[in-house]
C-alpha cells in the first residue's frame, strides 16, 4: 500500500496541472483569510458538510471517516499545538472561509466530472485539501470538528452551506489528577 503522500501525488498527476493550479488557488484564497483557530475549524467543518451533502450524500460516514483518518495522519506528522481560543469566532468570517472552500471545490469537482476524471482521483483530490487544513490542528480538535459535521448532517433541518458550530470552547479536558478515593468524602447512599 502506498503512503498518503504518494496517493495524493498520483491523484494530482491524474487530474492534471490545470486542476492542480485551481486547487492551489482555492487553498491560497483560504489561507489569505488568516482565520484564527476557531474560525478556521468552523469554516472547515461547514465546507466539509457542504461538500459531503452535495457530492457524497449516500456515503457520508465513509467520506467523513476518510477525512478524519487523513487529517489525523497529517496531524501526527505535524504535531500541532492544541487549538487556541483567543477570540469569539466571527460568524461572517466563518461563512466567508467556508464559501471560499466549498465554492472553489464545487467548481473543481464539477470540472473534473465533466472531464471524465476517475472518481477515485476526484475524491483523493478533495480529501487532500480538507485533510491538509484540518491536519494542521490537534487530534481532539479534528475529532470535535467532524463530530459537529456529523451532527449537522444528521439534522433533518440541515441546509447546504449552513454554518456548522464546532463547540471547541465547551469541551473540557479531563482532570489531570484524580481525587484519592480513600480520602474522598462519601456522597449519598449506596
- pLDDT value of residue 175: 46
Q: What is the mean pLDDT of residues 77-81?
A: 87
pLDDT at position 3 over 90: no
User: CA-to-CA distance for 122 and 9, rounded, in angstroms?
Assistant: 12
Residue 179 banded pLDDT, cuts 50, 70, 90: low
What Å distances lie between residue 146 and 43, 46, 52, 73, CA to CA?
A: 12, 10, 12, 15
Please say whether the beta carbons of 74 and 5 come within 8 A: no
Assign 17 a pLDDT band (cuts: 50, 70, 90): confident
Least reliable range by pLDDT among 3-12, 54-63, 145-154 = 3-12
pTM of the model: 0.85
Cα distance between residue 63 and residue 67, in whole Å: 6
Amino acid at each position: 500500500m502506498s503512503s498518503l503522500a504518494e496517493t495524493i501525488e498520483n491523484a494530482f498527476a491524474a487530474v492534471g496541472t490545470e486542476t492542480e493550479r485551481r486547487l492551489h488557488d482555492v487553498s491560497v484564497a483560504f489561507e489569505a483569510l488568516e482565520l484564527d483557530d476557531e474560525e478556521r475549524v468552523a469554516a472547515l467543518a461547514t465546507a466539509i458538510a457542504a461538500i459531503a451533502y452535495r457530492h457524497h450524500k449516500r456515503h457520508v460516514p465513509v467520506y467523513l471517516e476518510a477525512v478524519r483518518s487523513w487529517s489525523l495522519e497529517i496531524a501526527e506528522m505535524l504535531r500541532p499545538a492544541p487549538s487556541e481560543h483567543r477570540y469569539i469566532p466571527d460568524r461572517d468570517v466563518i461563512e466567508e472561509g467556508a464559501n471560499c472552500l466549498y465554492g472553489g471545490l464545487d467548481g473543481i469537482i464539477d470540472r473534473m466530472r465533466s472531464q471524465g476524471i476517475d472518481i477515485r482521483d476526484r475524491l483523493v483530490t478533495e480529501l487532500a485539501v480538507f485533510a491538509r487544513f484540518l491536519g494542521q490542528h490537534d487530534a481532539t480538535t479534528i475529532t470535535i470538528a467532524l463530530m459537529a459535521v456529523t451532527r449537522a448532517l444528521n439534522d433533518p433541518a440541515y441546509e447546504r452551506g449552513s454554518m456548522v458550530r464546532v463547540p471547541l470552547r465547551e469541551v473540557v479536558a479531563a482532570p489531570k489528577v484524580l481525587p484519592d478515593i480513600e480520602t474522598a468524602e462519601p456522597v449519598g447512599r449506596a
